[in-house]
Structure 1
């Protein structure tokens, strides 16, 4: 590929695309080189963060500071008490956020960023630990940190070699590796993630069926010996509409399901006599169910793959706990779109 410099004009869409691809290639190669450079310092940093009795305070200036904000957010969402701290704000009073036993994770490509290095004496006085994430382990930050994650030399993707690009991409990637290693050490589970991330599509996917299922009078149930006609007469009137009647036996165990589609088929097949027969004779025995404690994502996959509209929820004893209706899930998605 031809060398692209800051002075090279972009004369066509093909040349512009080649330039953009070149940026991505440089950044990908930078990550690849750092993969081979990482050593036990990353593991020790993760162990220290995992065992930290206080907070992990992430600081950095400029683009490194923005990467630090993302790293602090990733740590927080995966179970680590963490927050970002702007170094300029720190020297104007926000150092009060740091306590003895906390860890400061400082990001600086050069390791000589003035706003960051001048925090080092204060961090020492506060008796907090200091981990450096920098390209130069021999820099002021690298030498004075308790632990240094060294990235090594990084060629920027910017043709001028000035705008942080490959260096911040590498910092972001190594920060992710660090945060996710800590998460792995914690044995972080989907239900833990949900505790810190109840909103958005991820939160909805991990939400348990108990939080959205219908219960009580909003679930139409019938004993197995009641006739179809008796069931529908008894269940008439104002209530939250569901397209299924769940047939329940002794101790609340689910025996079968009878849907509005089943009722329609009785008329289509001219089997009206079944209306005066026990509903157990017309129901679908052993219907597809979802276990209580399952996620909405599991319920949605069952509804999709089996082409169902209603999905009974049962407890470990196969007792009826509730009903997931596809219309309620559509409502959840509509609410999310409005937000």
Structure 2
């Protein structure tokens, strides 16, 4: 162990604890002004324009991303660029959020009067209740912290965490008021594994697979050929066109271990009846849950209670759902 490893752990834990303590105080700042700000944003006909300078600008970009992904149209405007032409992105019905720790940054003080002259409502997320920004905004959300986690009380650490937490509180409050659901979330996250969990259907995967099937009177040879040829490690067993059961490669191994004359057996003698199944229109992630609950690797896929194919655990692995 390195001689200074204990110090490193202490530095890290002290930083985390400092920020935890500061965030506990944020509860007190969810006051009537916060409620009024959320109400304004919820009723706004335009977008939410969020701006800041320095580290606050980075926090502003993250809050914009969170709002956009949860159904609140938002865009980022850098405070330094705003007075050099970017003010043109603000439309009459937009609500503007200015983020600043001190509320006294030259860029913020220069920007605020222009926005007010446009007639847009301004929400301040600020760590100084006596600042120019806090006193001149229409709504003030307090993010005051006693000190930064930085031992010199200089580097924005706890203060930017407070801004981020309040931004999340705004976004989630708006999400709840809008009745935003996981289906809505999926529409804004079509890419990546997260999106797949929210929109990928069983039929999207099973339709690419073969549909292994034998009748209840199929011989052992026919069963083996069907399972081997369709590459899903199982076959459905049908009787008069209706699903009767399933035979997996595991069923075949167990049958061979216990039966001294397997050649005379038919599919009806080997299969497992009432196999686990899932409707083609269900989410693929629900197929995964069923497989995990029942410790199986294949699921029969049905459409209107009729056999429609099969989905394998490998399909879900390939799509990144595991």
When normalised by structure 2's length, the TM-score is 0.86
Partner residue, 2:159: 167
The partner residue of 2:190 within 188, 195, 198 is 198
Q: Which moved more, 1:50-59 or 1:14-23?
A: 14-23
Partner residue, 1:138: 130
Mapped partners of 1:198, 1:322: distance in 2 = 25
Unmatched segments (≥5 aa) in structure 2: none
Partner residue, 1:325: 312
2:37–2:123 contact (8 Å) kept in structure 1: yes
3-state secondary structure, aligned to 2:68: helix
Kindly tell me: are residues 127 and 323 of structure 1, through their superposed partners in 2, closer, same or farther at Cα, counting changes over 3 Å? farther
The partner residue of 1:312 within 279, 300, 307 is 300
Count how many residue pairs are aligned between Structure 1 and Structure 2: 319
Residues 109-130 of structure 1 show CA distances to partners (whole Å, capped at 9, x for unaligned) of: 1112221232223323444322
Q: Does 1:284 align with 2:276?
A: no
Deviation at 1:25, TM superposition (A): 1.7
Q: Which moved more, 1:176-185 or 1:304-313?
A: 304-313
1:67–1:171 contact (8 Å) kept in structure 2: yes
2:124–2:137 contact (8 Å) kept in structure 1: yes
When normalised by structure 1's length, the TM-score is 0.82
Partner residue, 1:270: 260
Mapped partners of 1:25, 1:266: distance in 2 = 60
1:256–1:284 contact (8 Å) kept in structure 2: yes
Deviation at 1:153, TM superposition (A): 4.5
Deviation at 1:101, TM superposition (A): 0.8
Deviation at 1:234, TM superposition (A): 8.1
Deviation at 1:235, TM superposition (A): 4.5
Deviation at 1:214, TM superposition (A): 1.6
Mapped partners of 1:143, 1:253: distance in 2 = 74
Q: Does 1:208 align with 2:200?
A: yes
RMSD: 2.9
2:22–2:145 contact (8 Å) kept in structure 1: no
1:212–1:328 contact (8 Å) kept in structure 2: no
3-state secondary structure, aligned to 2:144: coil
Q: Which moved more, 1:255-264 or 1:164-173?
A: 255-264
Partner residue, 1:63: 55
The partner residue of 1:300 within 288, 292, 299 is 288
Deviation at 1:320, TM superposition (A): 3.4
Deviation at 1:134, TM superposition (A): 0.8
Deviation at 1:249, TM superposition (A): 5.8
Q: Does 1:256 align with 2:261?
A: no
Mapped partners of 2:242, 2:35: distance in 1 = 51
Mapped partners of 1:118, 1:211: distance in 2 = 57
Kindly tell me: are residues 39 and 284 of structure 1, through their superposed partners in 2, closer, same or farther at Cα, counting changes over 3 Å? same
Residues 53-97 of structure 1 show CA distances to partners (whole Å, capped at 9, x for unaligned) of: 222111111111111111111111111111221112222222222
Mapped partners of 2:93, 2:232: distance in 1 = 56
